[in-house]
Amino acid sequence: MSKKVLIANRGEISLRAIRACKELGLKTVCIYSEGDKELKSLRFSDESVCVGPADPTKSYLDAPTILSAADVTGSDAIYPGYGFLAEDHSFAEQCNLSGFKFIGPSSETIRQMGDKITAKSIVTKYGIDGVPGFDNELPDNEQEILKIADEIGYPLIVKATAGGGGRGMKIVRSSKELINSVQIAKQEALNGFGNDIVYFEKFIENPRHIEIQVVGDGKGNAIHLGTRDCSIQRRHQKLIEEAPARDVNKKKLDEVLKNCVNLCKDLNYEGVGTLEFLYEKECFYFLEMNTRIQVEHPVTEMVTGFDLVKAQLRIALGLPMTLNQSDINFRGHAIECRINAEDSVNFIPNPGKITRMHIPGGFGIRYDSHIYNGYEVPPYYDSMLAKIISLAGSRKSAIKRMLSALDEFFIEGIQTTHQFHQKMLKDEKFIKNQHTINYLENEFLKNA
Ligand code: ADP
């Protein structure tokens, strides 16, 4: 009898998971909220279960209800996707204790890596350098805090150990702002993540964001699938991602790749994961590890031909799967543009009804999305509508192919980030790959 997977998510990643399940002959159950009755994924899954009202805290984040849905549908495993409960170690544990295989690493690995201070201390043992800073819980005494900051030097960044999604960070440029910023960061961390522990990192002024994709089988075998560059960001949120990262010191990169794989082997890492780094002056500084599939996974799939979602399912469900680094070959360059329901100038969210649209296609173009003509984009969730991915022989060709795809693409009825991408892909600094994580906000938007 074929196994059944409950997909504990919504939007494009649910559709992505359904497609992978179908290829593997697995049955699917989609959950949805009352605000999501029109989701495309519900038409393609074998079954669907409403798990509560539109408010995500009462539906997609409601672990007991999701577990009941898995129970009543006779599901074998739970696919978390990204966001929502994907990195919630106690949810992973509850799934496994309730007899549903959580598709991802062990709850202990999620817990350790989800705490940034702990994650930094683990990776350091494998020769992976974190951003220099104070990687412990800060003392209460203000004089001591000021002393620690002086030793690191300004500017520095106050970060929440439980932080995520680009939230819970404060840049501090001088000692005058320090104590106040620490207090605000602690309060925000407590409100946002239920944990007020913050730590200090040196603020790296002009880095690129480079990340490494890894896959482990949970039995001590692990491989890497190379790099992605996600330096086009606004408010720490990625808008364009590419694979592989270009213009990187090869010797340093090979070293980091080797260390990341060794770490995953040693941890018996199960499933897919991403180690995120800042890269400046030919040095890699570890930021965090995400123990789940990432939004930008398609660019890696396009340059390697390796299906990351199918790998997640195969590994979790014990289907045949061998991980050999020598089987992974990299070909060409891939770029992903995130089309969000936000206007292209101020990035203000703009949910509403899509009255007319056309999706791009053609050689080397991939389109991952849950939206359709007549779909009403609900205001309750992440604003991402679609991911357009181009693959070509070189970065320059991938940019041209993407521009051609963006010319074909249109959405009417709501504002989207479509035009932003059209402008960015024609930008000289972007084309020359000279941008850093600050470029979009500090230069590109100011000159627009
Ligand atoms: P999150 O888990 O919220 O995504 P990260 O630690 O991954 O947080 O950081 C997200 C983004 O914040 C990075 O891509 C970068 O833009 C910025 N950032 C984080 N730490 C630093 C730092 N020490 N120096 C400069 N920028 C940073």
Per-residue pLDDT of the chain (448 residues; tens, 9 = 90+): 589 999 999 999 999 999 999 999 999 999 999 999 999 999 999 999 999 999 999 999 999 999 999 999 999 999 999 999 999 999 999 999 999 999 999 999 999 999 999 999 999 999 999 999 999 889 999 999 999 999 999 999 999 999 887 777 899 999 999 999 999 999 999 998 999 999 999 999 999 999 999 999 999 999 999 999 999 999 989 999 999 999 999 999 999 999 999 999 999 999 999 999 999 999 999 999 999 999 999 999 999 999 999 999 999 999 988 899 999 999 999 999 999 999 998 999 999 999 999 999 999 999 999 999 999 999 999 999 999 999 999 999 999 999 999 999 999 999 999 999 999 999 999 999 999 999 999 999 998 7
Location of structure tokens 């992505």: 16
Mutate to test the pocket of ligand 1, among 129, 231, 287 (most ligand atoms within 8 A of CB): 287
Nearest protein Cα to ligand 1, atom 17:
236
204 CA → ligand 1 middle, Å: 9
Q: Which atom of ligand 1 has the smallest separation from the CA of 202?
A: 23
Nearest protein Cα to ligand 1, atom 6:
287
The encoded tokens of residue 400 equal: 């041209």
The encoded tokens of residue 225 equal: 């699938």
Q: Residue 256: name the closest of 345, 126, 63 by CA.
A: 126
Q: Residue 34: name the closest of 5, 10, 1 by CA.
A: 10
Q: With left for phi above 0 and alpha for psi between -120 and 50, is residue 226 left, alpha or beta?
A: left
Q: Which residues share a beta bridge with 27? A: 4
The SS3 of residue 118 is helix
Mutate to test the pocket of ligand 1, among 135, 152, 154, 169 (most ligand atoms within 8 A of CB): 169
What is the separation, in whole angstroms, between the first and last Cα of the chain? Answer: 58
157 CA → ligand 1 middle, Å: 9
pTM: 0.97
Helix (H) or strand (E) segment spanning residue 273: strand 270-280
Q: Residue 153: name the closest of 187, 200, 207, 89 by CA.
A: 200
State the pLDDT at residue 1: 57
State the pLDDT at residue 320: 84
In 24-88, where does DSSP find H-type helix?
Answer: 41-44, 63-72
d(CA 208, CA 328): 25
| Residue 160 near residue 181 (C-beta atoms within 8 A) | no
State the pLDDT at residue 275: 98
278 CA → ligand 1 middle, Å: 8
Architecture of domain 208-447: 2-Layer Sandwich (3.30)
124 CA → ligand 1 middle, Å: 18
Architecture of domain 4-103: 3-Layer(aba) Sandwich (3.40)
Location of structure tokens 């439980």: 162
To the query of whether residue 16 is one of the catalytic residues in this protein, the response is no
State the pLDDT at residue 79: 98
DSSP state of 159: E
Say whether 132-202 and 4-103 share the same fold: no
Residues within a 6 A CB radius of ligand 1 = 131, 157, 163-167, 169, 201, 203-204, 209, 233, 236, 276, 278, 287-288, 437
State the pLDDT at residue 168: 77
Q: Which fold has domain 132-202?
A: Dna Ligase; domain 1 (3.30.1490)
Domain segments of the chain as ranges = 4-103, 132-202, 208-447
163 CA → ligand 1 middle, Å: 10
Helix (H) or strand (E) segment spanning residue 421: helix 418-424
State the pLDDT at residue 165: 78
Task: Pick the catalytic residue from 10, 16, 208, 292.
Answer: 292
